[in-house]
Structure 1
Amino acid sequence: MSKPRARERLAEAAFALFDEAGYEHTTIDDITERAGLGRTTFFRHYRSKEDVIFPDHDWLLDQVASRLQTSSHATALVAVSDAVRLVLTHYVAEGDLARRRYALTSRVPALRDREIASVARYQRLFREFIAGWMADIAEPAPLRAELMAAAVVAAHNHVLRRWLRGDSPDPNREVDEAMRMVIGLFASPAQDGNGTTVVAFRTGQDIDTLIPALRRLAEEHPAT
Structure 2
Amino acid sequence: MGRWKPDARGRLEQAALELYGERGFEQATAKEIAERAGLTERTFFRHFADKREVLFPHANPLHESLVTALDTVPDAAAPIEAVAAALESACALFTERRELARQRQAVIAANTELQERELIKLASLASTLAEALRRRGVTDPAAILAAEVGIAAFKVAFGRWISEPGDQQDLSHLVRESLEELKAVIIGK
Give the TM-score normalised by structure 2: 0.79
Q: What is aligned with 1:219?
A: none
Match of 2:142 among 144, 147, 164: 144
1:8 CA drift (Å):
2.2
Q: Are 1:99 and 2:102 counterparts?
A: yes
Show structure 1 runs of 5+ residues with no match: 136-140, 187-224
Contact 1:68 1:80 in 2 (8 A): yes
Larger Rg: 1
Call closer, same or farther: CA 1:86–1:57 in 2, change over 3 Å: farther
Report 1 or 2 for greater relative contact order, CA contacts < 8 Å, sequence distance ≥ 6: 2
Counterparts of 1:25-64 in structure 2 under 5 Å? 25-55=27-57, 58-64=60-66
Deviation sequence 1:17-61 (CA, Å, 0-9, x none): 212222111111111122221133212322221111223762221
Q: Aligned AA for 1:55?
A: P
Show structure 2 runs of 5+ residues with no match: none
Percentage of identical aligned residues: 31
1:91 CA drift (Å):
2.5
Contact 2:153 2:179 in 1 (8 A): yes
Give the TM-score normalised by structure 1: 0.68
For the residues of structure 2 that align with 1:185 and 1:132, how far apart are their CA atoms? 29
RMSD: 2.8
Call closer, same or farther: CA 1:120–1:19 in 2, change over 3 Å: same
Deviation sequence 1:53-110 (CA, Å, 0-9, x none): 2237622211212222344522565542232013333234202110000111001111
Call closer, same or farther: CA 1:160–1:121 in 2, change over 3 Å: same
Contact 1:88 1:160 in 2 (8 A): no
Q: Aligned AA for 2:32?
A: D
Total equivalences in the alignment: 179
Q: Aligned AA for 1:151?
A: V
1:162 CA drift (Å):
0.7
